[in-house]
Each structure stands twice: as structure tokens, then as C-alpha cells.
Structure 1
């Protein structure tokens, strides 16, 4: 049986690798053809373009890992079935579960590589990809959450800014409330706030500070007020893709800080965290489904198996995207959004495996 295991395992890894190598140039060519106009218009240096394409390759290869794997397993297993090799294996007394073992070993290798990629390589590639995109390709689109900024800066202070322009470091309709325990001690309001990097101070216009007293309030009103605060501009307006560029431990700390600050993007950030583990699991699920679909010799040949497989893959992507958007745009639980497609298709994989054994 070791010969059978090595035979299938080598075909599994070889087909998956070759599919990646074939699709990567196609992905780069299509993407470059779409973006070449803006790249030439912005006179982007050639070296930056090459680094961007490398980051693009790692970024999207990581996201599409399970689908590439799914198609490659269907492809080479269908060839085995059409050559009646699967029938020969099973007729020799090998159970279907035993036949599946080298596939699971191959899926384990790919899943481990996916974890390494997600934890260490993909964050760096995501940073380069998104930085380049917002700098040259998405001009006019905001890369930060800078509208209706409402955050808890620490245990005692909450701030609000109606909008903040990171280009000139100016925000409008600024409010800061300072609490001690459950009591409001003072409140600062200003029509605008500007950060001055040279002096590391904030300049407030139409400054009003109200100190809340036991019997009467104190009031300080100034046209312009220069002061220091315990927050900085990056804390106020982190990039929308901030979670994607952080290593795992840094990402967990970042999410805790954003939850404390009341960020509206916490759902998006948690999706990134949970997908680092759901993606490797989907490798096993899709491998089992692919084997169950393609191990039967059909009248239409390999084309029928590929058609069925691609339909299943598209449905998987649909569920993954629709639940991801729900978690980003609403209060839908990010854990449910990430794991529901895996649970649903895990049940499908168990059902198809049961029928394949029969």
C-alpha cells in the first residue's frame, strides 16, 4: 500500500503545484492588463510595480488556496477514475477510507503551508498590496475609517470627530469626555482639531471646556487652544485593512484595543483573525468532496466531474463572501460568518463520503 500512497500523494501535490504555477501568470496578466493604465498615468517606478505584483501573487494565492486545491484534486482523481485505476484499487480489497488516506496526508501538507502563509507571509504581502493600491490605483477612495470617529481612548476618555482628513491632520466637530468612575468630570468641545507634527501638539479652534462641579460648572472658552492628548492620529484613523497586515499575536491585541475604542470595523478585523484557521480546515473538507465527486467513472468523462466540482466551488465562495459581508456591515457574529460555510460543506462532505463508500 505504500506504493499506492506515494503514487496518489505525489500526484496530489504535483497537480496542485502545477495548477498554481499555471494560474499565477494568468492572474498577473489579467490584473496588470486591468491596472496598466493607472500605473502608467501615475508613472509608478518599475521596481515598485514588480514588488506589487509579487505581493499580489502571495495575497491572492493565499485567498484562493482551497479552490486551486479543489480543482486539482478533481482533475487528477477524474483521470484515475477514467483510466479505471480507482476501480482497480478498490477491487484489490482496499476500502474507500484507506484509499482516501494519501489525500488526507496531502491535505495536511497543504494546510500546514496555508497556516504558515497566513500567519507570516500573507500579512506582509497584504500590506504591500493595499499600500500600493490606495496610493496609485484607488486615488479618491479612503483607506482609513475617518468618518464619525467615536472611540474610547483609555479607561477614562472618549472622543468623537465627525470627520478627520489625514492629508492635513484636521478634524471637525471634536468632542472629548473625561470620566472618573461613572461620573463625567469635564468635557472639551471644538469646531476643529489639528495635529501639528512638528510640535506634537493639537490645536483646537473655538475651544470650550466645561468642568462638572458638585454645585456649579466651570467654563473655559478660547478662540484657539494648543494642548497635548494621550492619543495620536494613527490611533484615531487606522487603515481599513489594518488587521490584514498584522501578525497573529499583534492582531489579537489590536482587536482588543479596537473593541475598547468602539471601532465600527471590529467585525472586519475578527474575520481576518478567524479565517487564519478556517482556511486550513476548508482544505480537508474540499479535498474529501473533490475525491467523492471525481472517484466515480461517469459517462461524460472528466468534463462532468469538473463541471460538478466548479459548481460546488462557486457555491462555497458565494456562502463565504455573503456571510463575510454580513459580518463586516452588520452585527452578524464573525465566528458564525467564517465557520458556517465550513460546517455546511463539512456535512455535505460527510454525506458524499458515505455515498462514495457504498
Structure 2
């Protein structure tokens, strides 16, 4: 009987989990969709390249959507079981809430394993492949990274502004370029017009500027200005496969925890440690969300799927607000990277264990009790007004 019951509960979880994965992934992808669509419509980037960019972005989304979808799935699954009085029937047969815990925990184990695979292998591969493809696209069409009337910072150490930009001829006007690639002598370049020329062989882009001036300052406080009629500014793009150009999101866990000595500044090393521990903390949030979602789903039995979805969004917002807050404390070195990244899991684990214990003992949760009192108060107020 127990095996049949565990299988029955387990089968309730995959359908809403898949729906949650598709929904949350689509919502996150919508933030990038407009920019990707613009690359096809305005910049002339081949649709196949944009499709590959979407594929490369998916792993970084899955790192978040797997725990999110698991929370939603267990909320809806246990909300359905409770709403149909199946939880009550199980309890009448002597099965406590602790006895119902193995099926969702087993599913969360699979979700955690999938999330670990994503963070160890898929995220570095996806981010590095996305950057490599973006460089190739930029080499084929230099204007992909330039947008008129916008301060473009796509090139490391540079900010580029163009009043107008013509995609067909790759020409610009009203150009301002702030170049900080040499921190000792930053320069600001003004030009009335110019054009872009990609050089795929040299992995670079060249700005052909006309009728302008170069303003350069030094550490000693001196200032120089040079007027020009024609000036060529070459910008080197990162060569694919170069480890020295990898960002934190592109690095593997091994590269994050054992970076080459002397290559990175202390602030960069701190960011790498935070990235390392946050990648490990997110998969284990699957277990935390499971423990938290079961009691919330049971207490939410009569509110339907829409309320279950809203409740999951509320819990996720609280979790990611806590995640961002503790990460900020870690960046300011008020907490160690381990404490900053794992503290949200610990806090929500304590909350989940408390709610689980209350529900297992058939005690109302403080949250639902508070909402019930608020609803009764509002109802009584409207009843008094109606009586008058």
C-alpha cells in the first residue's frame, strides 16, 4: 500500500513542474526577446544565429527556473490533494505528513541533480558559447553592438555614443567615445561623423572618424587636445577560447575556486567566490522549497491553482530578495562568501521546518490564520455598512 501511495503522490508532481519550467523560462526569456528580435529585424543578424543565442542562454535560466518550477509543482500538487480531501483520507489511514514526505523529496533530489549538472557543465558552456557567437556576429556586422542615442558599453573599457547610426552603410554622426582602456591616460574623442569596419581576421573593429578632437588627461594632471580630420580607432575583440577573457559567468567551478595566482584583483577574487557558492546554493534550494511548499500547499487547499501560482511567486520573491540582500553583504565583506550565499537557504529551511511541523500537528499556520482574521474583519465591516 505504501508503495502505491508514494507512486500516486509522485505522479502528481511532474505535470505542474513541466508547466512551471516552460512558464518561468518563457518569462525570463521575454526580457531578452526584444533585444534578440531587434538583432534580426534591424541589424540583419541571421535568424539561426539568434536561435543559437537563445539555446546558449537557456542553462543560465534553468539554474533559477528548476527550483522555481519545483516550488510551484509541489504547491499545486498538495493543494490539489488537500482540496479533494485526499490528504484527510491518507491521515485517516494512519499516514502522517512525514509519511508523505518521501515522494516529493525524491523528486527534489532529481531536480537538485539536474540543477547541479546545469551549474557545473551547462552554465559555463552556454555563457562562453553565447559570448563567442556574439563576437562572431559583431565581427560580421560591427553595427550589431551600436545603437543610436544610447551610451553603448559593449566594448570593455569604452563607452560609445552616436547621435545617428545608419545600419546599411555602418555610418554614424555626432560621435562621442570615452576610452579608458589605458587607465593612466583616459581619452574622450568627439567626431562629427564616422564609419565602422569589421576585421574578422584580426578579431577587431575599426572606427573611421572624421572632423573631431581627442581630449586626453594624465595622472600628473596634464591635459592635451588634438584636432583631426581623419582618425582610425581600432578596438580589439576578445578571441574565442581565451581563458584570460572569461567572465565569472563563463568560468567552471574549478576555475572559480582555483583561479591563476596573480591574475585577478582582490575584488574580482571575492566576486568569483560569491559566484562559486551561489551556484552551489541554488541547487540545494530544491530541498528547502520542497519542505516549505508542502505545508503551504495543504493550507491553500480551497484557493485553486491561480492562488497557488500567486503564492509561489510571493515565496520566490522573498527568497530572491534575501539572496540579493545577503549577496550585497558579501560584496561589502560584511559576511564571508559562504555565509552570504548559504544564509537564505538556512533561513528558509528553518521557516519550512517550522511550517511543516505546525501542519503535521494540524495546527493553523500563522500566515493563513492572519489572512483568515483579516478576511473576517473586512467581511464584518462590509456587513455593518450594509445594515446601516
Unpaired segments of 5 or more residues in structure 1? 147-162, 166-170, 175-196, 198-232
Retained in 2: the 8 A contact 1:324–1:338?
Answer: yes
Q: Indicate the residue corresponding to 2:191 in structure 1.
A: none
Give the alignment partner of residue 256 of structure 2, picking from 241, 251, 254: 251
CA distance in 1, matches of 2:320, 2:297: 20
Equivalences, count: 277
How far residue 99 of structure 1 moved from its aligned partner, in angstroms, is 0.7
**1:22–1:296 distance in 2 versus 1, CA, 3 Å:** same
CA deviation profile, 1:98-130 (whole Å, cap 9, x unmatched): 111111111111111111111011111122345
TM-score normalised by the chain length of structure 2: 0.63
Q: Is 1:92 aligned to residue 87 of structure 2?
A: no
Q: Indicate the residue corresponding to 2:43 in structure 1.
A: 42
Unpaired segments of 5 or more residues in structure 2? 139-143, 159-178, 186-201, 203-237, 362-388
CA distance in 1, matches of 2:326, 2:357: 28
How far residue 32 of structure 1 moved from its aligned partner, in angstroms, is 1.6
CA distance in 2, matches of 1:13, 1:56: 24
**1:257–1:143 distance in 2 versus 1, CA, 3 Å:** farther
> What SS does the corresponding residue of 1:95 show, helix, strand or coil?
coil
- Of the structure 1 ranges 79-88 and 332-341, higher mean CA displacement relative to structure 2 is found in 332-341
Q: Indicate the residue corresponding to 1:242 in structure 2.
A: 247
Give the alignment partner of residue 284 of structure 2, picking from 262, 274, 281: 281
Retained in 2: the 8 A contact 1:70–1:290?
Answer: yes
Bigger RCO (CA 8 Å, 6+ sep): 1
Q: Indicate the residue corresponding to 1:212 in structure 2.
A: none
Q: Is 1:324 aligned to residue 327 of structure 2?
A: yes
Q: Is 1:272 aligned to residue 278 of structure 2?
A: no
TM-score normalised by the chain length of structure 1: 0.67
Retained in 2: the 8 A contact 1:115–1:280?
Answer: yes
Q: Indicate the residue corresponding to 1:228 in structure 2.
A: none
CA distance in 1, matches of 2:331, 2:133: 23
Q: Is 1:295 aligned to residue 298 of structure 2?
A: yes
Q: Indicate the residue corresponding to 1:52 in structure 2.
A: 53
**1:137–1:101 distance in 2 versus 1, CA, 3 Å:** farther
Q: Indicate the residue corresponding to 2:232 in structure 1.
A: none
Q: Indicate the residue corresponding to 1:183 in structure 2.
A: none
CA distance in 2, matches of 1:307, 1:296: 14
